[in-house]
Amino acid sequence: MVLGLSESRTFRRRQKRRRVAVWLMFLGGLMVLGWAAYQSGGAVAGLEVSELQSQLDDLRVALDDSARQKARLEVENRQVAGERDEWRQRYQDEVPTKRETELFALLQKQIDNDIPTDRLRLMMNAAGQKAICEDKPTTKRFIVRTPIYKGSDDAVNFGDGVMTVTAVGETATDAAGNPEAWFDPAKSVTAVFAELGGRKTTAAGRLPLHHAMVVGKREFRFSLKAGKQRGFLEVTADRCAMP
């Protein structure tokens, strides 16, 4: 009886030790797994940090490249702007203006007409001198021709018939857009100045107009404006002796 009780206690102690051993093994396994997870997490974190550092280095290199490229483009832009300004200045200095082109064409025309060079030089020098004018301007009026009106009183003479002046304008319209029998003074007018020998010059544009031409040894100066009476043009002429 005593022996049976002793064996029973011994069996229970062994079972208890087994349970404790199992729990210790279980806890040890958990600790091993935790340590392994920690080590694995640390390694992963290290890899992520390393990758992020690599990306940061790449970004720094890219930013440095962008900064260098920006600086290079700024230098190139300044060079292009300088060349552009230089060419613009050369164009302004070397390419003749419209006024210069017209004067050159007029001079070339006189040369083509066999006008002596000495006379052209004399006339050009005289242009810079003050003209001696009669200061007795004469004002006359005439009707401006239009596509509708081509009647009488459409010309005036100056200098004892040496110079004849006519003009052509655009037809005026009423509020409804219907054509009138007179010209529109607000639109462009073309004045024709005809010499006795047949040579003609013109002046075109909106009124008032101004024109000058040399006939013989006299210079005629004209000023044209819309007349007080509808359809008429007033022209004032003065004669000046060539210096």
| Residues 17, 71 share a domain | yes
| Residues 158, 111 share a domain | no
- Per-residue pLDDT tens digits for 209-236: 999 888 877 888 999 999 999 999 999 9
| Residues 89, 10 share a domain | yes
| Structural Rg of the chain based on CA atoms | 53
Q: How far is the C-alpha of 67 from the C-alpha of 61, rounded, in Å?
A: 10
- Provide the residue range defining the domain that includes 140: 132-241
- The answer to whether the beta carbons of residues 189 and 209 sit under 8 Å apart is yes
- The answer to whether the beta carbons of residues 188 and 195 sit under 8 Å apart is no
| Residues 219, 172 share a domain | yes
| Residues 100, 87 share a domain | no
Average pLDDT for 80-104: 77
| Residues 138, 108 share a domain | no
pTM confidence score? 0.50
Is pLDDT of 102 > 90? Answer: no
* DSSP designation for 197: T
| Residues 214, 152 share a domain | yes
| Residues 67, 111 share a domain | no
- Per-residue pLDDT tens digits for 33-70: 777 767 666 666 667 777 888 888 888 888 888 888 88
Is pLDDT of 172 > 90? Answer: yes
How large is the angle between the packed helices 98-112 and 117-127, nearest 10 degrees?
140
What is the 3-state composition of the chain as percent helix, strand, coil, each rounded to the nearest 5?
Answer: 50, 25, 25
Would you give the end-to-end CA distance of the chain in angstroms?
A: 167
Provide the number of structural domains found in the chain. Answer: 3
Which pLDDT score, from 0 to 100, does residue 151 have?
77
Output phi, psi for 159, to 5 deg: 60, 45
11-20, 141-150, 178-187, 204-213 — which is least confidently predicted? 11-20
The share of the chain scoring above pLDDT 70, in percent, equals 84
